[in-house]
């Protein structure tokens, strides 16, 4: 599933990584706060590994149920690059992408689960620390 972020007029005011629950909490200046699971962020990485180099080259990300974010690097004034526990660290999450992933979670996540089912992948529930 390709996620295209649109331009927004809101910017993060706070980003908190909750390592135990594996949640990235992002608050925006319009008052909205999103709690984004690390698994969700990892499977929707904007890197070429998942997105490919052109439409139609996307790779369904599987087996990321227990992935965590070890650290986060600031990328200029437009985004962040998480370092995931599975070694992935090349995705740059712009403010627009983080907002879209948060704002549209209720549509995007079920779509991903449907893709897993169609691929005959059985998702395991993440281990709680």
Q: How far apart are CA 51 and CA 57, in angstroms?
A: 7
Q: How far apart are CA 17 and CA 128, in angstroms?
A: 16
CATH number for domain 12-118, candidates 3.30.1380.10, 3.30.2020.30, 3.30.450.20, 3.40.50.300: 3.30.2020.30
Q: What is the pTM of this model?
A: 0.90
For 54-106, how does the pLDDT look when each residue is reduced to its tens digit (9 = 90+)? 677 788 999 999 999 999 999 999 999 999 999 999 899 999 999 999 999 99
Number of residues written out for the chain: 129
């Amino acid at each position: 599933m390709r996620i295209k972020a649109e331009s927004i007029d809101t910017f993060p005011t706070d980003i908190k990584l909750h390592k135990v629950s594996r949640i990235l909490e992002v608050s925006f200046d319009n008052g909205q706060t999103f709690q984004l699971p690390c698994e969700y962020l990892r499977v929707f990485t904007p890197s070429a590994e998942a997105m490919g180099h052109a439409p139609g080259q996307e790779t369904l990300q599987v087996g990321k149920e227990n992935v965590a974010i070890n650290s986060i690097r600031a990328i200029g004034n437009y985004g962040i690059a998480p370092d995931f526990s599975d070694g992935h660290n090349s995705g740059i999450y712009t403010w627009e992408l983080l907002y879209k992933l948060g704002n549209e979670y209720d549509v995007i996540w079920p779509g991903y689960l449907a893709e897993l089912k169609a691929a005959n992948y059985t998702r395991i529930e993440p281990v709680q620390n």
